[in-house]
Structure formats: C-alpha cells, structure tokens
Amino acid sequence: METLRLKKAGKRYIHHDLNRSFKEESFIKINPLNCERTRARELVNLYGEAGENPCQIALDFHTTTASMGSCIVVYGRRDADLALASLIQNQLGLPVYLHESDQKQTGFLVESWPCGLVVEIGPIGQGLLNSRIISQTKLILETLMEQIHEVKNLNLFFPNKLIIHRHIKSIDFPRDEEGNIDGYVHPLRQSKDWQELKKNDELFCKLNGEIIRYEENETYIPVFINEAAYVEKNIAMSFTKRELWNFKKEWKQSLIDLIHQK
C-alpha cells in the first residue's frame, strides 16, 4: 500500500528517507502517520534477528543518478560484510565503497541485520525503468544468491585482496549568504565518479562565473557526484581514498558461521 502511495506521489519518500529510518531509538515511539519509520519497524519485526521470520543477510538494492555504474556499499567494518563484498568483487569486479565515520548519515537498513550490503546501480533518473538497469540488477542479485549458496555448501573461493574506497568526507554545493545553492558541478567533474581528484582540479562553477577548485594536497576519489537524492542532504559529492586490504581469515569464518547459524 505504501509503495503504491509513493509511486502515485512520484517521490522517494513521503515523510522520512526510509534508508535513514532504521535507528533503534526511533522505534520506541513512532508517529503512525510516518509511513517510512513505521515500515522500517515492520521490516525489523518481521525479518530482523528477533523477528517472526528472522534472516541473517539483508541485500538492499538502490538506483543512483550519479555516473557510478554498479557498486557495493558497506557500512562499517563487520567481518561478514567484508567477506561477502569480497566474493562479489571477485566475481563481478564491482568497486566497494566503505561508508563510515559520518555521524550525519546513519540509520541504514543493512545495519539492522547481522550482515548486509547495499547495491547501487546507475546512472538512471528517479522513477524510471530501464532495461540495462534491470539486467544489471538481476545479474548482481543472482550472483549474490549463488555466492551465498556456495558459502552454505563450503564450496567457495575468496580473493587474497579487497579493493576498498574508504569514505573520507562529503562536500556541499557552493551557497550564497542565505544558504541557497549558487553553483553547480563543473563540467570537467560531472560524471567523473571513481576518477582521481588532484589539487587545483575544477569542482564547481558558481553562478557568477567563478570557478571553485579542489585545494587539498591529498588525492581523493569522488563518488556520488551530483546525486539527485543527496541535494537535500547538502552533499554534492563524497570523497574516498582507494586502499588495498589483505583478506582476513576471520572475515571468511564470520560469514560461514553466520550462514550456518541455526
């Protein structure tokens, strides 16, 4: 019913971003008219660890308007999450974005389950259907289910390394004295997700023609550039640092134990 209501409204949500609604403290007292927080509590009550039909792994599929292609988002450094992300990166070569240390962005769905990954697929405009996006979604979902099945049968192959894009910070659009956006992503930065950003590279064009440049010495890699859903969150893009991590045997054991848990 709520899905039909959202489609009719032509919006991502009515009252509150569903993927920021999974905070335990917000479940204590919920306004019944807030459909997203009500739905978040329903999902946890149904499928959470202590729910009516408990499950151990949550797979949360999203589309993005940013030119990121397909990628995996991991929230925090839980061993089972990193193990599952390693399997998918090994199979499909998808980049893994490690989102952490951002107190302004919390309450994500996958954090309410013992193991969980977000899959971002794009670029595509909000509310649209596209055969390429549908095919990519199907492929990634099938691969995830196949790998989980292989873990269950102990017939699995983990890579030696995991390539991580670790979240550093997010930056806002340029704004005027009244807080209104008065600029846009520079054409040389638009659609350049996953590409290195170096000192003096162009970031934004202000409406008065001024160019805002990247002034830091550290080389970062931007993601979610000009993501439509993040404008309201004062995020023009997020900066990440690419790192190569050694695969740890405790990641593997954590995922195996979780899937074989009775």
In the DSSP assignment, the letter for residue 191 is: T
Residue ranges and CATH numbers for the domains of the chain are 1-55 (no CATH), 171-240 (2.20.25.160)
Inform me whether the pLDDT recorded for 10 exceeds 70: no
Sign of the four-CA dihedral 138, 139, 140, 146: positive
So what's the pLDDT on residue 110?
Answer: 95
pLDDT category at 15 given cuts 50, 70, 90 is confident
Q: What is the pTM of this model?
A: 0.92
Which band of pLDDT confidence, cut at 50, 70 and 90, is reported for residue 238?
A: very high
Q: Which of these, 59, 132, 99, 60, lies nearest to 239 by C-alpha position?
A: 99
The rounded distance, in Å, linking the Cα atoms of 149 and 260 is: 11
Rg (CA), the chain: 19
Residues 6+ apart with CB under 8 A from 89: 72, 95, 96, 159, 162, 163
Alpha carbon distance 33, 214 (integer Å):
43
Residue 35 has a pLDDT of 82
* Lowest mean per-residue pLDDT among 7-21, 40-54, 145-159, 236-250: 7-21
Q: List C-alpha distances in Å: 256 to 69, 80, 83, 98, 145.
A: 29, 8, 9, 22, 14
244-260: pLDDT as tens digits? 999 999 999 999 999 98
Q: Facing residues of 12 across strands? A: none
pLDDT tens digits for range 92-138: 999 999 998 787 788 899 999 999 999 999 999 988 899 999 999 99
